[in-house]
Amino acid sequence: MYFCNMIVVTGALGFIGSCLIAKLNSLEKTNLILVDDFSRTKKDKNLKGKIFEKKIERSLFIEWFKENAEKVNEVYHIGARTDTTEFDINIFDKLNLNYSKSLWNICVKYDIAFVYASSAATYGLGEFGFNDDHNLIEKLKPLNPYGESKNNFDKWVLHQQNQPPFWAGFKFFNVYGPNEFHKGRMASVVLHAVNQINRTGEMKLFRSHNPKYKDGEQLRDFVYVKDVVNVISSMMMRKTKNGIYNLGSGKARTFNDLVKATFKAMNYKINIVYVDTPLDIRDRYQYFTEANMTKLQLLGYYKSFTSLEDGVKDYVSNYLLKGNYF
């Protein structure tokens, strides 16, 4: 027996999904249905202390959703295969594209609000800039199957005449923050930096192979996960305007800045060593990303984003060094 007005969160065990649950709990939302592959127990600690109604296996959820959709008000579809080094297109088609289409169609049929995770990986090398203009999405050239799967769903969404009563897709830029212990090589540079610095007293960064950039001066839009879940939950509550939106800090910063902030948060002397970018990714390596956040701001979202220095300090001091979860 379930209550009505349920909220679904897919990818519930993951980095952003589990932080979103913490945010929803802080808003006194506990009528949550969590969806994920719960056989992967290494992520279980991400749910410690969180309040929810039920966990449902990802492989069983579509059928459950079809049978119980009338009890659901909102879907946060955060779950995805996110490994940018995976090149099996079939995996991405199954988990990122077709699964997402199924959720969308059920939300259309039962008038359920739908928010989903897209990615800045859709922008490729940034040939067309980093503007969340719907007219540009057909032109984008992602660099890997993960980015292609996200862009393919964005394109499919924009061609749908039948839509949920409210929907929004968010192109996440370089998100960092707590609850990513499980991500291995796909974790943020901050996590890798803390591990390396603890182990060796130094941090290795890729050398620049582009004459326009000095070593370590490659730029990314790093955005703190607490800001990300603030935006997502706020948009779902306000349900202002359907569309696909960038979600970054809006300000590109260098890897040097990120790592120096990490050394400072750990009270270590700065010691950065530059190594060659591996040949197999050198030609596809991005030197600059920066979210144009104008579209979101025009909807009235003016809450300030956490500075890189403050975000890294909070993440390192209150989570990584203490082994805490958000």
Q: Which of 50, 71, 183, 204 is catalytic?
A: 183
Q: Is 116 a catalytic residue?
A: no
Q: Please check whether residue 102 is in contact with residue 109, taking contact to mean a CB–CB distance below 8 angstroms.
A: no
Q: Please check whether residue 34 is in contact with residue 79, taking contact to mean a CB–CB distance below 8 angstroms.
A: no
Q: Which of 76, 116, 146, 315 is catalytic?
A: 146
Q: Is 146 a catalytic residue?
A: yes
Whole-angstrom Cα distance, residue 52 to residue 2? Answer: 12
**3 state SS for the chain:** CCCCCEEEEECCCCHHHHHHHHHHHHCCCCCEEEEECCCCHHHHHHHCCCCCCEEEEHHHHHHHHHHHHHHEEEEEECCCCCCCCCCCHHHHHHHHHHHHHHHHHHHHHCCCEEEEEEEHHHHCCCCCCCCCCHHHHHHCCCCCHHHHHHHHHHHHHHCCCCCCCCEEEEEECEEECCCCHHHHHHCCHHHHHHHHHHHHCCEEEECCCCCCCCCCCCEECEEEHHHHHHHHHHHHHHCCCCEEEEECCCCCEEHHHHHHHHHHHHCCCCCEEEECCCHHHHCCCCCCCCCCCHHHHHCCCCCCCCCHHHHHHHHHHHHHCCCCCC
Whole-angstrom Cα distance, residue 200 to residue 123? Answer: 35
Neighbours of 252 (CB within 10 A): 19
Q: Please check whether residue 65 is in contact with residue 103, taking contact to mean a CB–CB distance below 8 angstroms.
A: yes
Q: Please check whether residue 56 is in contact with residue 64, taking contact to mean a CB–CB distance below 8 angstroms.
A: yes
Catalytic site residues? Answer: 146, 183
